[in-house]
Amino acid sequence: MARTLGIWLIVGLVGACLVPWYLTNGGLLSLNWIGGSGTPENNPILLLALIHGKLWLLPVVAGFPIIATLLVLRITPAKRAKLISIIALSVLVYVAVQGFLVVRNGPVLLNDVFHVLGAEDGQAGLGIGALLVVLSYLFILTTAISMSGNARGDAFVIGLIGLIIALVAVFVFFPISQILLQSLKTDAGGYSVTGFLKRFFSGEVWRLDCLNGGTCGPAINSIFLGVLTGAGTTTLGLSFALIFTRTQFKAKKLLRVLTIIPIITPPFVIGLALILLFGRSGTVTTFWADLMDMQATRWLYGFWGVYMAQLLSFTPIAFLVLIGVVEGVSPSMEEASQTLNANKWQTFRHVSFPLMRPGLANAFLLGFLESLADFGNPLVLGGNFNVLSTEIFFAIIGTVADPAKAAIMSIALLTLALSAFVAQRMWLGKKSYATVTGKADSGQHASLSPKLKLACYLTALPWALFTAIVYSMIVFGSFVTLWGYDHSFTFKHYLQAFAIDFSNGIRWKGVAWDSYFTTLTISSVAAPLTAILGLATAYLLVRQKFAGKNVFEFSTMMCFAIPGTVIGVSYVMAFNFPPIEITGTSIILIVMFMFRNMPVGVRGGIAAMSQLDKSLDEASITLGANSFTTIKRVILPLLGPAILAALAYSFVRAITSVSAVIFLVSAKHNMATSFIVGRVEAGDYGLSIAYSAVLILTMLLAILLLQALIGARRLRRDNRVR
Amino acid sequence: MNSQVHGAVRFDGVRKNYGSVTAVKNLDLTIESGQLVTLLGPSGCGKTTTLRMIAGLESVSGGQIHIGGKDVTHLSATYRNVSMVFQSYALFPHMTVIENVAYGLKVKSVPKKEAHAKAEHVLTLVGLAGFGARLPSELSGGQQQRVAVARAVVLEPEVLLLDEPLSNLDAKLRRHVREEIRQIQQDLGLTAVYVTHDQEEAMAVSDRIVVMKNAEIAQEGSPVDLYEHPNSAFIADFIGDANLVQCGITKTNGEFAEVEAAKRRMQIRNPLGCEALANMVIRPQDIVLSKPDRNPGFSGTVTYAAYLGSQIQYTVDSELGELFVVGGATPQPFTKGDVVGIQFDFEKVRLVG
């Protein structure tokens, strides 16, 4: 253990003595400070504190010699561990506190103190040196805790817990708290709770005027839309799931495709396709207008358009969830019912359906959550129908920037989303009739009664056809010169976006290349990090016991419920200023993707790890391997498919994400989705659709590639996991 | 390996709570080195928790655990010199048999060649020479079980732990494998702790048995001790079958007591010094059934008779209550409804509380 402490002590000393403490001009990872130590900003903290008069930084460095002394001092191990952890924790807290207090125009109360310390000019954002020093103290702290006899002395596990807690605290709770702070701000510059409450519960957010002809507040619109979308997607999803699992339907494979498509579709693409069909100059609209001799209307832009787009977007998700639910009803229950002389309809009505009810509730809440968080469709189709996610966006980006309004709307959205999330967790926790026991449950699911089967076919199949038409629009639309006016075949959109000029070496001439490459790079960097973070969290949740595990689990899964728009706004508010100043960099995008997509990895990891018998780990541990070796040699090799799935999901979700991205992109780091949204707003549908098609194709290729790998892995571990 | 001195395990007032549930209460237990000690008890009695605390897989809520004289209470499983055979075997499915057996050596940085040579040796010991290149999934249940044992003993642990190692084998194989485990343990002179809920298995393999009930030790001793001298009705019933017949004690005189049951007085051994109310322990095979008119004694009616080949099991409704009787397969067995006379040797009956 002392060795581990020594290593982290060295890391910390390197961070304190050799690399710059502050963010340098080139960014966090740039190396331009080497050789350029002339300016104070490029100095390590040791020199800053001793030579450049930044005295308040001294305690940060002082921790290291004290800990080193404690290591060689002759005291009982328990006492040593306790003292070291106290010191490491105090330094960490001090770093945070000084980061918030020592800023330009810091607290008036401390002016005199700051003057003495030379701190009145504030300081730059934390840099690579600070990162190393903080990590060093963090792991010294966790190692010391593990030495004090807790958690059976596993330094690796405690270090992992500490790291994840620290990351979630900095990149989830800190930004969210910034929103809360912002919303409490008054125009005068102070903070007021009553002012916040007054504005929060005002008609601006919650008005109900649409009941008598006016327009409702965005929160009401969001709830209304969410409830209808949840109900709609659950009904459609159930129909699909019943057809898929309980009938002899011929084209089941095609239905399967339907479940993969939305994963690789950027959220606004459905909206775009709908515009091509039902917009002012859309095919269907003009057809009807000609037929009925009516004026083409803009009915699509508003509630109905958004609702339709959301149903199309989220039904497949409900389908995916409900397949599991419908299959989870044990066949023996249905067989028991039938042997008790119930007919197929009675069996469904009184046995199967009640058993599915918690699953249906889950699917409904999922649909509600997705609808709340959806940003792309309301942005493209919303018109005057305002929902919270778009209101937040316009409050930040619109002609009159109003951060307070954005904060208030964010809190409303967050409250709704978290309530739904909590409701979902409680419902699932209390009322799960999971009848999958792990025992082989032979027997056949009851087939559907003829009436129910007909009802399912009548709802699901037209919808499937409609979905197919909508998606084919994406292909057609990209090859048509100008939809609705000039239907001649053309490659011009693709050329405009993706032309390459070979005349003078390779020149990436197309307008889309820039954002395309950025997207691929950032997604490929973010994907493995997300997968690691997610799987590590899953490992802790499934395999380790520690105090506060429930809170830990809840807060990591909560990241899933925080709508992207809220994340985007909170990151802008939190990371635009020191101590952590990373807006405009690619780091903020990567970090955002990590925490937004982590729950996918967590869930995949939990599912996969729950299937691995825990005694495998225990066998490894009792044979003398430590947790790290156990993960490396036993768990990871057996998790192959789950790792690849987590990688694929995080990669794809990073590409399709738009809601949070749109706040965080910069001229230097523009992402494909925000580029396309810009083009859509400019009315450039051809290019947008062509680019979207290329994105979908890219992701399809990535998924197929990964699936080929997963398939290969499966063959090797066939039947080998007991 | 034979010459190595193996350490003993000592529990001093060890407690384990899961929240408000007590899994193990103030356990004091010493396991002598070189012995195979079985923790026996009904499910939920705390035996597996006790085993896992020796392994270091469960933390301790209070008290100390010593292995080989060293306090290991706060030492993690990785650093304890014990190894374990799991109920599910927990063979790593992605490693071959030899990789599985050599795993513990490998993580201790033993050179690969040496590790494989040792593993090969131990595989020969368990009768699996030549199976090294196979995957666990390509072995039968019994073979997997032996790989699990080989993987545990190759490390020459101070204590070998076995968690219901036979429960996944079919009944016929079980007897064979438990003999093998006992043989290996004695050949290598290992200290072993064995958990099971099957009393017959415990009797067959153990030097000593620790019977646990409700998170506490109910009784410990050699198999003979437990069977011949049960200290409670629970033990009498749990170790071997027993008919417990409630009786009143009318007089005690030293080792014996005069008891009354079904209006008849008897002199019964009273090693525990019971008073007033007690239970007579009558083993099923000690009861002899006869035609009713032949001898004075108790009488009853056969309510159930099961022919098992080597023996016949009867359930008899008698003045002493319902009795379970095992009789030899006599040429003319009794059948359901027969009225029978019941005799048993008072010498063999014991009183328990």
pTM for this predicted structure: 0.81
Residues of B in contact with A625 (CB under 8 A): 78, 103-104, 107
Alpha carbon distances (Å) from B20 to A432, A499, B24, B217: 25, 69, 12, 20
Give the confidence band of B3 by pLDDT, cuts at 50, 70, 90.
very low
Q: Is residue A144 part of a domain?
A: yes
Determine, yes or no, domain membership for A477: no
Given this model, what pLDDT does residue A200 score? 80
Residue B266 lies in a domain: yes
| pLDDT at residue B99, rounded to an integer | 92
pLDDT number for residue A497? 84
Q: Are residues B215 and B247 in the same domain?
A: no
Flag whether pLDDT at B5 surpasses 60: no
Report the CATH number at residue B192.
3.40.50.300
- Evaluate whether residue A33 is within a structural domain: yes
User: Is A619 inside any structural domain?
Assistant: yes
User: A-B interface: how many C-beta pairs under 8 angstroms?
Assistant: 96
Same domain, residue pair B67 and B154: yes
Structure confidence at residue A440 (pLDDT): 41
What is the residue type of A62?
Answer: A
Are residues B97 and B170 located together in one domain of the fold? Answer: yes
Tell me, yes or no, whether A551 lies in a domain. yes
Distance of CA A480 to the CA centre of its chain: 35
Give mean pLDDT, residues A601-616.
Answer: 82
Q: Which of B188, B205, B228 delimits the end of a domain?
A: B228
The answer as to whether A367 is a domain residue is yes
Which pLDDT belongs to residue B2?
37
Nearest to B210 by CA among B37, B15, B344: B37
Please state, for a pLDDT cut of 70, what percent of chain A lies above it: 89
Per mean pLDDT, which range of A251-260, A492-501, B27-36, B44-53 is the poorest?
A: A251-260
Same domain membership, residue B166 and residue B38: yes
How confident is the model over B42-64, as a mean pLDDT?
90
Tell me: do B171 and B296 sit in the same domain: no
Least reliable range by pLDDT among A47-56, A458-467, B301-310: A47-56
Cα–Cα nearest to B264, from B294, B296, B306: B296
- The answer to whether the CB atoms of B92 and A154 lie below 8 A apart is no
B130 and B273 co-located in one domain? no
On average, the pLDDT of chain B sits at: 88
Nearest to A623 among B74, B103, B137 (CB): B103
Residue scoring higher pLDDT (A286 or B321): B321
- B-proximal residues of A, 701-720, CB under 8 Å: 717, 719-720
The answer to whether residues B208 and B262 belong to one domain is no
Per the structure block, which two tokens stand in for A721? 């996991």
A50 and A106 assigned to the same domain: yes
pLDDT band at A439 (very low <50, low <70, confident <90, very high): very low
Same domain, B152 and B250: no
Q: Does the pLDDT value for residue B119 go beyond 90?
A: yes
| Residue B74 to residue A619, Cβ atoms within 8 A | no
Q: What is the phi-psi region of residue B328: left when phi exceeds 0, alpha when psi lies from -120 to 50, beta otherwise?
A: beta
Q: Is there a single domain that holds both residue A533 and residue A666?
A: yes
Q: Are residues A54 and A120 in the same domain?
A: yes
Residue B235 lies in a domain: no
> Measured between alpha carbons, how far apart are the two ends of chain B, in Å?
46
Whole-number pLDDT of residue A714? 44
Q: Is A451 on the interface with B (CB under 8 A)?
A: no
The answer to the question of residue B74 being in a domain is yes
User: Hey, are the CB atoms on A616 and B92 less than 8 Å from each other?
Assistant: yes
pLDDT given at position B227: 92
Range in B3-12, B178-187, B265-274 with the lowest mean pLDDT: B3-12
At B219 the pLDDT is 94
Q: Is a pLDDT exceeding 80 seen at residue A438? A: no
Tens digits of residue pLDDT in A214-249: 778 888 999 999 999 999 999 999 999 898 888 888
Say if residue A579 is preceded by a cis peptide, omega within 30 of 0: yes
Answer whether A615 sits within 8 Å of B108, measured CB to CB: no
Q: Are B194 and B205 in contact (CB under 8 A)?
A: yes
Q: Is the pLDDT of residue B344 over 70?
A: yes
Q: Considering only CB atoms, which chain B residues are within 8 Å of A154?
A: 76, 78
List the Cα angle A262/A705/A556 in 5-degree steps. 55
| Residue A394: partners with Cβ closer than 8 Å, 6 or more residues away | none
Q: Domain boundary residue among B189, B207, B228?
A: B228
Asked if residue A164 is part of any domain, the answer here is: no
Using CB atoms, which residue from B77, B89, B161 is nearest to A621? B77
What pLDDT, on a 0 to 100 scale, did the predictor assign at position B111? 93
Q: What is the pLDDT of residue B329?
A: 65
Residues B199 and B279 both lie in one domain: no
Amino acid at A489: F
Highest-confidence range of A58-72, A250-264, B166-180, B191-205, by mean pLDDT? B191-205
- CB contact at 8 A, A139 and A67: no
Q: Does A618 lie in the same domain as A538? A: yes
Whether residues B199 and B256 fall in one domain: no
ipTM reported for the complex, 2 dp: 0.81
Q: What is the CATH number of the domain that holds A277?
A: 1.10.3720.10
Decide if pLDDT at A526 tops 60: yes
Domain count of the fold of chain B: 2
Does residue B245 share a domain with residue B224? no
CA distances from A579 to A88, A479, A575, A661, B261 (A): 20, 49, 8, 22, 87
pLDDT tens-place string over residues A262-286: 778 887 888 888 888 888 777 787 7
Is B295 domain-assigned? yes
Question: A435 lies in which domain range?
Answer: 220-469
Question: What is the mean pLDDT of the segment spanning B289-295?
Answer: 75
Highest mean pLDDT among A29-43, A701-715, B43-57: B43-57
- A615 and B161 within 8 Å at the Cβ level: the answer is no
Q: Which of A71-75, A199-203, A559-563, B322-326 has the highest mean pLDDT?
A: B322-326
Domain count, chain A: 3
In this structure, are residues A392 and A565 in contact, taking their beta carbons and an 8 Å threshold? yes
Pairing state between β B287-290 and B298-307 = unpaired
A460 and A598 in one domain? Answer: no
Whether chain B has a CB inside 8 Å of the CB on A613: the answer is yes
Average pLDDT score over residue span B226-250 = 90
pLDDT at A186 over 80: no
CATH number, position B324: 2.40.50.140
| Bridge partner list, B264 | B261
Residues A104 and A234 in one domain: no
> Which domain, by its residues, includes B151?
9-228
Kindly state whether residue A505 falls inside one of the protein's structural domains. Answer: no
B197, B228, B259 - which closes a domain: B228
State the pLDDT at residue A99: 82
Q: Do B82 and B199 share a domain, yes or no?
A: yes
